[in-house]
Amino acid sequence: MRGLVLVATEGINGTVCGTPDVITKWKAIVSKDFPGIDWKDSGAESLVFPRWFVKIRTRIVGLDAKELKPSTDHNHLSPEEWNRVMEEEDTVILDARNFYETKIGMFEGAVDPKIRTFDEFRDFAKTTDLPKTKKVLMYCTGGIRCERAILEMEKQGFQHVYQLQGGILAYLKQFPNVKFKGECFVFDRRVAVDQNLHPSEHFSTCPHCGNPGDIDLSCLNCKSDAVVCDDCHKEEVKRTCTKNCRYRLMQIWEKKKKMKMA
């Protein structure tokens, strides 16, 4: 069994992988100390983490503030309720994830905050021109970030904010190919999961930035097949299969440049 588990005074969060019997034992052990955990299951053909970590943190996710204490029952909508409320008038759907996550999949009609890290969400909530009287439906991957983001939205004066219980992963388990379009980014070797929560067959990890990539190319240095993201593909030196090849290519170009100058 491998994975990453975070433990803080506000709760526990993590993603682990292992054989079905081991996962069953793990759930039983953890549930003794943390009853009522919202488990989200998906599958893979092999271990998707390289090692095992348990880390003690002061908080599970960003937006560190004493007044932003998550609650387990704060305006949650089940996937069924989410589908219904999405159709109501004067409703805004808000994605609380980072830009590289929203690029590969979002709920239809959702607002993209275009943040690079979750800690930037506070600035978004302060400066957004979204009407504060409208009903805001907020979601993220598994629902964890929304537990704190919803409190930040309320702090900034939004009056009717709701979050998707269990996030995208819980929604896709019940409603694949309905309101959510594309794939869902996950923080492990699968890179993303498709509408049926299967490991992505479309995206790979970009060797230069670690974001999801889907542009196939032949490495400019060693000619090996590679996949990079569209942002890195814009830089010619990053049309390489590894950071090492990128470095070697830069050396070759620098050498040629010096020879021309000489």
Residue pLDDT, tens place only, 190-247:
999 999 999 999 999 999 999 999 999 999 999 999 999 999 999 999 999 999 999 9
Residue 117 has pLDDT above 90, yes or no: yes
For residue 43, the model assigns a pLDDT of: 86
Q: Using an 8 Å Cβ cutoff, are 135 and 87 in contact?
A: no
Out of 60-64, 102-106, 175-179, least confident range: 60-64
pLDDT reported for residue 199: 95
Element (H, E) at 82: helix 79-86
The first and second tokens of residue 166, run together, are 């269990």
**The pLDDT value given to residue 197:** 96
**pLDDT value at position 68?**
52
- Find the mean pLDDT for residues 50-54: 94
pLDDT band at 258 (very low <50, low <70, confident <90, very high): confident
pLDDT at position 70 over 60: no
* Residue closest to 38 by CA, chosen among 186, 192, 143, 184: 143
Using the predicted structure, report yes or no on whether residue 262 has a pLDDT greater than 90: no
**How many C-beta atoms lie closer than 10 Å to residue 222's C-beta?**
14
pLDDT of residue 35: 87
CATH number of 76-187: 3.40.250.10
Is 70 exceeded by the pLDDT of residue 20? yes
| Tokens 């488990």 found at | 39
Contact 92, 134 (CB under 8 A): yes
* For the chain, percent of residues with pLDDT exceeding 90: 80
pLDDT for 74 equals: 66
CB 190 within 8 A of CB 199: yes
pLDDT of residue 60: 84
**What residue segments make up the domains of the chain, in order of their start?**
2-56, 76-187, 212-261
| For residues 3-25, average pLDDT | 92
pLDDT of 261 reads 74
- Which residues are annotated as catalytic? 140
pLDDT value, residue 69: 57
pLDDT at residue 14 is higher than 60: yes
- Residue 72: the pLDDT is 54
User: Which of the four pLDDT bands, split at 50, 70 and 90, describes residue 66?
Assistant: low
Instruction: Tell me what the pLDDT averaged over the chain comes to.
Output: 92
Is residue 109 predicted with pLDDT exceeding 90?
yes
Closest CA to 191 of 80, 100, 57, 71: 100
